[in-house]
Structure 1
Amino acid sequence: MAGQVKAPVPKLVDVARWLWITSACVGVVRFVAQLFDREMLIAEARRQNPALGQDQIDAGVNGGIMFGLLIAVTILVAYTRLANTMARGRNWARIVLTVLGAASVAFGLFRLVAWASGIAAGLGVAMSPVDLGVTFVTTVLDAIAIVLMYRVSAHFRKRVTVDSASPRS
């Protein structure tokens, strides 16, 4: 319908959209920073495969970095598209973001509790202050985004009503 005016995105939904995108950006930036710690990647490859030569280790690390960058871009694009689709009132995108966000919040809380209780250290898992900070920030951003999406449920019902009322070809 060419003359149809789109309803504005409610403020809380728009804030939720930007929280999802920000959370994805923070996580991806941290992931990419870890990818560029080449010395750590080489040491880990050497620890896992001590029989490999330096050329093989270098090739494996280079391939891993390229694959990691591809994954990072894919995640960022997926979260951005889901957040924008959710903001347009698509309930299915809100549900997908809720599932992903709930898993992220649960995992984040697990990491923070494991660190605070000393369980992580007891298992030999080292968590840097940067990792803990990123975990805390993304956990909070995702939790707030979930809450905000459900504060304006009428935005999603209105969209469903408009979709179901439109003629089908």
Structure 2
Amino acid sequence: MAGQVERPPKPVDVARWLWIASACVGMLRFVAELFDREMLVAAARRQNPGLSQDQIDAGVNGGVLFGLVIALAVLVAYTRLANAMARGRNWARIVLTVLGGASVAFGLFRLTAWAGGVAASLGVEMRPVDLGVTFVTTVLDASAIVLMYRASGHFAKKRVAVDTDFLRT
């Protein structure tokens, strides 16, 4: 039927939701850090000891607002990419592969540095919640990448010369 949306294969649909879940987990952790006002004020004071409390408060408030905007933009971008990928857009699959591959590599680096004691020897604090989020997002991203490529036929039949769906979603 004309206008009917074709459902993506199950692995692709699951990959879509894994990408979105990974972005949400990462965003929630980032937002939680933004609301740790004491930590932000202490960091601002260490970096700029000559600033008054009002200046530090203004800087922290601006940083939190900017961070929230960035977090929302990243979540929207991942959601749009995941939806474009589910519609069979190979370019979106490639972009997600690059972003996810970098995320997996960074996650494995962080986990390995922690497990090997390298992070502690360099004075880098890795809190249990940060390690948990790193582990979860690494597994979600790696799983999503594998699932996207298990249904390669879905992408081969959807290729078009010029794809403007990303702009319309």
Fold match by TM threshold 0.5 = yes
Q: How does 1:7-46 map to 2 (within 5 A)?
A: 7-46=6-45
Query: Where does structure 2 lack aligned partners over 5 or more consecutive residues?
Result: 164-169
Deviation at 1:105, TM superposition (A): 0.1
| Structure 2 Cα separation of the partners of residues 110 and 95 of structure 1 | 22
Q: Does 1:145 align with 2:139?
A: no
Deviation at 1:114, TM superposition (A): 0.4
Q: How does 1:94-113 map to 2 (within 5 A)?
A: 94-113=93-112
Amino acid across the alignment from 2:6: A
Q: What does residue 80 of structure 1 align with? A: 79
Q: Which runs of 4+ in 1 moved over 4 A?
A: 161-164
| Structure 2 Cα separation of the partners of residues 112 and 83 of structure 1 | 26
Aligned residues: 163
> How much is the aligned-residue C-alpha RMSD, in angstroms?
1.6
Report the TM-score, using the length of structure 1 for normalisation: 0.93
| Structure 2 Cα separation of the partners of residues 68 and 162 of structure 1 | 37
Q: What does residue 92 of structure 1 align with? A: 91
Report the TM-score, using the length of structure 2 for normalisation: 0.93
Query: For each residue in 1:85-130, what CA deviation from the matched residue of structure 2 results, as whole angstroms up to 9, or x when unmatched?
Result: 0000000000000000000000000000000001100111001100
Amino acid across the alignment from 2:70: I
Deviation at 1:163, TM superposition (A): 8.0
Amino acid across the alignment from 1:17: R
Q: Does 1:57 align with 2:56?
A: yes
Distance 1:4 1:50, change over 3 A: closer
Distance 1:163 1:61, change over 3 A: closer
Rg: which structure is higher?
1
Q: How does 1:101-140 map to 2 (within 5 A)?
A: 101-140=100-139
